[in-house]
Structures are given as structure tokens and as C-alpha cells.
Amino acid sequence: MPSDASAHPLARPSGRVRRIFRHLPLPGERESGLLATLVVLSVLIAFGSHGALFTPVNMDNLLVSAAITAIPAIGMTVVILTGGIDVSIGSMLGLVAAVGGLAFEAHWSLVAVVPVFCLAGAGLGLFNAALIIPGRVPPVIATLGTLSIFRMLVFLVTGSNWITEIPPSLTTIFIVTRIGPLPMASIIALLMLALAAFILARFRLGRHVYAIGNNEAGIRVRRIKLYAYGLLGLLTGIAALMTLGQSPMVQTSTGEGFELKVIAAVVLGGTELSGGRGTILGTLLGTLIVELVGDGVVLLHIQPFWSGVLLGAIILFSVGAAWRPARSA
Amino acid sequence: MRGRGLEPTRIFLLLAFFVLGLGGFALGDVGILSRANLTSMAVFAVEIGIVALGQTFVICGGEGGIDLSVGAIAALAQVLLGLLLVAHMPWPLAIVIGLASGVVMGGVNALAITRFTIPPIIVTLATMFAFNGLALVFTGGINIDLTTMPPSFLALGQGSAFGLPLQLAAVYLPLLLLFVFLQHFSRFGRALYLAGTSELAARLAGIRTGELRGWTYVISGLLSSLAGVIGAARLGTARPDAAEQMNLVSIAIVVLGGTGIFGGDGSVIGTAVATAVIAVVDYGLSYNNINPIYQAGVMGIILITLVLAENMVRGRGGLRRVRSYWVRATSGDPLQDS
């Protein structure tokens, strides 16, 4: 897809002022628009729900689920920046939760189980990467395949039974413990987002990630792409752990549809599917909007079936809104 | 460069798979070869086969062409049809409206992909959820019973002609002929091969590639809704969650049939034979009471294994790719391997 080279931050005529501002986390045009949308949506939902949006219980719920979406969204941003996509993470989350749940059932201690979640996630992510990079299977095809394969494995691993022996300490750690107004899950997500934004903006690795999406030359492309999928898997594993903190049981349907939420957040945040453009700040704002819409559907007593329609419409609208006639010429 | 088109070797291989698959399941239980079972298999194959025809064109058009919304379009068209029938609309008119809804939904995909230049994966992933959601909204999440509808309508999915299921003899086979003509003997088909092989060459040849690809999504939408309509007539029910695995299975069929996922080659004949193979696998698994989730998993394994094998053979992956990579890297030759 042809993209307007002059619109890319790295290709701007770089005066000294520009060069300094490029590395500051100032919101760009896209991010400002998202921020405005976020504020308008909150006000609308707050009025529509007679203030139910800001009750502590609802706020906690919203913040924790935003954290669970935002953490894999970091990985998804990097994967999409390098020109890939992973539609399997919903099933991946379910499978990691199932494997970890079995470890909990076998009475492993929490300290021993956390690495299981991380390793299982990273392993599944690298499995996708192995298909996509050395195997040359297009990312959509590969991950569409693993979406159903991982889901099959969830059934095989759990034997279609629910796993309910999840220690309450997970809930304590991620949700009950708080710093200021934020539950621990949100704090962890914010730290990870900040770290990712810093690395992407300031490190050579980060510049390489953008460069791969724009034009793959002279960089260890394959290795970075491999890491990107591995990172996404690892972060999905962490999200699985937090999901069990939020609702302490593993079902065969755990994580279904999760991939769309994460992709919606990233795409809404302005990361372009053709790669090379997008920011972590945008992803954070995209996540918050997606979660707010989901919460709003519940608070405003809209039929839950609408959430899929809304999510799909939001993705199309947001990508379409970035469209400029000149680019298709 | 030219489209590879039809590969006789692959057709023979697929036919061998078909016989082996059927033979394998027959070894487990000869009952699967009974007339009733073979008919059920054919009936199942028709719906997914129709969708796969449209998917073939979409993928053949290249530039990342893929339609993930086929199942959602089938479900929404089926639900619309069901609601209209329950509202006592004459069934031919209801079917026309159901099919028109498929054209509109395909048109939405086409517009977003070609006018707004949004990647096909994102567009069809988004519309997949949107159309599925609408199907749930329209029905309130419950199935619509159509068993009391006129027998002439239900015959579309349950009748027979010339000893074959009606939808096979009267819908699928004529459609297949039409698509063979379109792909191999018409300007549209030639233009599509060229567009899929090389965007630049197609444009230089004066082909409006965007418009061309747009039509493939409209065709795919129409065929998906047709599959939805037939499914409703067959089961006597309209379900908002019908055809959930249709996107995965249709893509697997197309790839199995020899249409490369990078576009520009393949044939609907290959797709048709591959449909028979997949139908055997799927029916064989159902026949042995395998959980549908496992069936989807098996489809995923088949799809990935196929593309991997394909890449090895064609040198897009595997040793040749690695070697050419090194040759380029060491000699500084900027040419891509073709």
C-alpha cells in the first residue's frame, strides 16, 4: 500500500525543534482526536447512566479490564508495526489460562506458576512466529489456523471441565492491592506502556521496529519480527494471569473474542496495518475507548449483542477517518 | 509472468486424497458409504463450496485479498430471510431480499477496501463482528423456526433432482460452470489473474484493479448470502450463529485447491475438488462424533500444513528462499527471487 512518506514522523524535514519534539510524548493529531473522543464518550455515558460510570465498583472493573487489554495491545502494536498481525491471541489467552489453571489445580505455589504463564504465552507466540517467519505462512492465515488449534487444545487440556481452583491471592495482588486510585493491574499496565513507549521512541531497537514496517532493508528483520510475536505471546500470558485474578475460573470459552478487542484498540489508536506507523500512547487511548464503549453498553442497558456491531463499526470508522484522498493516487 | 491457472497434478492429488479419506473413514465404519450419508456429505459440501467459489476470486485478486466476513454474511442473510418469512412475505421475494442483503454487505467490504484503502483483513474482521452482531440484534439471539414454511421453500435445501440433492444439481453445479467460464474464458478472469500477479502490470494494461477487486467482494457477499439461504432451507431454521467456522474452512478449501494466498493463480475447479475433500474430512469427523471444536482445530492444522508445504515446494520458503537470500546479501543483487 502506498503511504505518504512526508506524513511519517521519521521522514519529516528535521529542524532542531522538530527533532526534540519528536521524542517527547506529546499527543499528535491522532492522539488529540482520541483524547477528545474519550472525554465526550465519558461525559455521554456518565449522564446516560446517571453517574453509574464513576462508582468505585464500576471504575475498578473498567480499569482492570483496560489493563488486561492494554498489556497484549503493546505486543500487538509492535507486531502490527512490523507489518504482521496475530488474530489467535483470544484462544492463546484461553490456552495459557488452562495450562496455568492445571498447575494451580496441582497445588503449585504462585511463584512457580507465574513463570508457567509467561513461558506458555511466549512459547505459543513463538510458535506463531515460527510458522510466519521461517515458514513464510502469511500472518493472517497462520494465526487464523492457530486460533482454532489453540481453542482445540483448550478443550483437550481441560477435558471440557471448568477449572475453579484458582487461588484468591491473584485477585488480592492484581485488583485489591492499589496505589492511590489505581488497582495494581493498572499500575503494571501503565509501567509496561511507559517502558514500551520509551524503547520505541528512544532506542535503536524501537527505530528498527518502525523501519521494518516502512522498508525492510539492512536490519535483522526476521529476528525482530520473531521477537515481536514472542513478546505478544508473553504479554498475552500475563493478561491471562490477570484475567484469572478478575474472574477466578477457566472455561472452555475463556478469551473468546479477546483478539478483536485488542486489535480494535491498536487500530483505533492509529497504528496502521501496513506497518511502520503508530504509537503506544495511541494504543493506550484506543484501549480506553474500546473498554469505555464495552462498559457503556452495559451501563446504558443496551442489548449486549450491540457490542460486536459497535466494535466493528468503530474500527471501520476510525481507519476510514484517517483516509486522505491524495494517498490513493 | 502469468497465472498458473489449473494444475492437473493437483487435481489428481486431491482426487487421491478424496478416495483415501473416504476409504479411511469407511475402514472405520462402512456405514459412511451409505446413500444417505453420501447425500448428507454432498449437502454439506454445497454451502461451503458456494462460499469457497467467491473466496477463490477474492484471494486470486491479490494484494492481501481475503474475506473473513463470509460466515457473518451468511448468518445475517439467513436471519433476514427468516424474519421476512415469519412476517408472511412470499418466499421468492424474501430470498431475493436475502441475496440483495449479501450484495450490500459485500459492497460495504468492497467500498471500505477499494475506496478507503483499508487492508482487507481489518475490513472483513470488523464487518465479521458487525454483521454477526446485527444478526444477534435482529433475532434477540434466538433461532427462528422455519419448519412450518411452504414446502416449495424448504425443497431448496431438502429436495432432490436427477437423483442428486436439489441444491447440488440446480444451484452448485450451474454456479461452478459459470465460475469456470468467468475465470478461464472471460476478460474479467484474465484481468483478475493479471491484477493478482502484478498490480503494476495490470494498471499499465489499463485495468482498474480497485474496481475489479471490489467486485470480487460483492460476488463473495452474494454467494455467502446464497449459502445462508440454502442452509436455512435445509435445516428449517435461521440461526444468528450459523456458519461460524465458514471463513476458516472456505480459506482452507481455496488454498487446498491450489489458489496461492498471494493471488494471481489457482482455479475454481481446484476449489471444487478441494471442497469434496474437506467435506469428507468434516463429515467423517462429525460421523465419528468428534466435537465441532476439534473439527475446527483439524481444519486449522490442515490449512497451516498446506501453506507450509506449498511454500517449501514453490521455493517461497525453505531452502531456496534461504539460499537466494544469501546470494542477494552477498552479491548485493537487488532483484527479488520470482
- Residue A225 falls inside a structural domain: yes
Mutate to test the interface with A, among B58, B59, B125, B241 (most CBs of A within 10 A): B125
Instruction: Print the SS3 string covering chain B.
Output: CCCCCCCHHHHHHHHHHHHHHHHHHHHHCHHHHCHHHHHHHHHHHHHHHHHHHHHHHHHHCCCCCCCCCHHHHHHHHHHHHHHHHHCCCCHHHHHHHHHHHHHHHHHHHHHHHHHCCCCHHHHHHHHHHHHHHHHHHHHCCCCEECCCCCHHHHHHHHCEECCEEHHHHHHHHHHHHHHHHHHHHCHHHHHHHHHHHCHHHHHHCCCCHHHHHHHHHHHHHHHHHHHHHHHHHHHCEECCCCCCCHHHHHHHHHHHCCCCCCCCCCCHHHHHHHHHHHHHHHHHHHHCCCCHHHHHHHHHHHHHHHHHHHHHHHCCCHHHHHHHHHHHHHHCCCCCCC
CA separation for the pair B221, B122 (Å, rounded): 16
Would you state the pLDDT for residue B2?
A: 39
Of A151, A305, A315, nearest to B126 by CB-CB distance is A315
CB contact under 8 A, A252 and B293: yes
Q: What is the pTM of this model?
A: 0.82
Read off the pLDDT of residues A207-265 as tens digits, 9 standing for 90 and up.
Answer: 888 877 666 555 677 888 999 999 999 999 999 999 999 988 898 889 888 988 899 89
CB contact under 8 A, A142 and B294: no
Would you state the pLDDT for residue A272?
A: 79
Count of domains for chain A: 1
A10 three-state secondary structure: helix
Partners of residue A160 in chain B, C-beta under 8 Å: 291
Q: For chain B, say whether A148 makes contact (Cβ under 8 Å).
A: yes
Residue in chain A closest to B113 (alpha carbons) equals A320
Mutate to test the interface with B, among A131, A141, A254 (most CBs of B within 10 A): A141
Q: For chain B, say whether A153 makes contact (Cβ under 8 Å).
A: yes
Q: Print the domain residue range for A191.
A: 51-256
Would you state the pLDDT for residue B64?
A: 83
> Looking at this predicted complex, what is its ipTM?
0.80
CB contact under 8 A, A141 and B116: no
Would you state the pLDDT for residue A132?
A: 92
Would you state the pLDDT for residue B160?
A: 79
Per-residue pLDDT of chain A in tens (329 residues, 90 and over written 9): 444 444 444 444 445 555 555 555 456 677 888 888 889 889 989 988 888 888 888 998 899 999 999 999 999 999 999 888 999 999 999 999 999 999 999 988 888 999 999 999 999 999 999 999 888 888 888 998 999 999 999 999 998 888 888 888 888 888 888 888 899 999 999 999 999 999 988 888 888 888 776 665 556 778 889 999 999 999 999 999 999 999 888 988 898 889 888 998 998 888 877 777 888 999 999 999 999 988 988 888 888 888 888 888 887 877 776 655 544 43
Residues of chain B with pLDDT under 50: 1-3, 316-319, 321-323, 325-326, 328-338
Partners of residue B123 in chain A, C-beta under 8 Å: 316
- Residue A25 falls inside a structural domain: no
- Residue A36 falls inside a structural domain: no
Would you state the pLDDT for residue B337?
A: 39
Would you state the pLDDT for residue A214?
A: 65
User: Domains of chain B: which residue ranges?
Assistant: 8-290
Beta bridge partners of B165: B160
Total beta-carbon pairs less than 8 A apart between chain A and chain B: 143
Give how far A286 is from chain B: nearest CA, Å: 15
Provide the chain A residues 248-307 that lie in CB contact (below 8 A) with chain B.
252, 260, 263-264, 267, 273-274, 303, 305-307
Residue in chain A closest to B111 (alpha carbons) equals A320
CATH architecture for the domain at B8-290: Orthogonal Bundle (1.10)
Which of A82, A329, A39, A103 has the alpha carbon at shortest distance from A209?
A82
Would you state the pLDDT for residue A216?
A: 58
- Residue A169 falls inside a structural domain: yes
Would you state the pLDDT for residue B5?
A: 61
Of B112, B129, B294, nearest to A320 by CB-CB distance is B112
Would you state the pLDDT for residue B335?
A: 42
Cα angle, residue B257 at apex, residues B255 and B259 outer, rounded to 5°:
55
CA separation for the pair A314, A320 (Å, rounded): 10
Would you state the pLDDT for residue B315?
A: 59
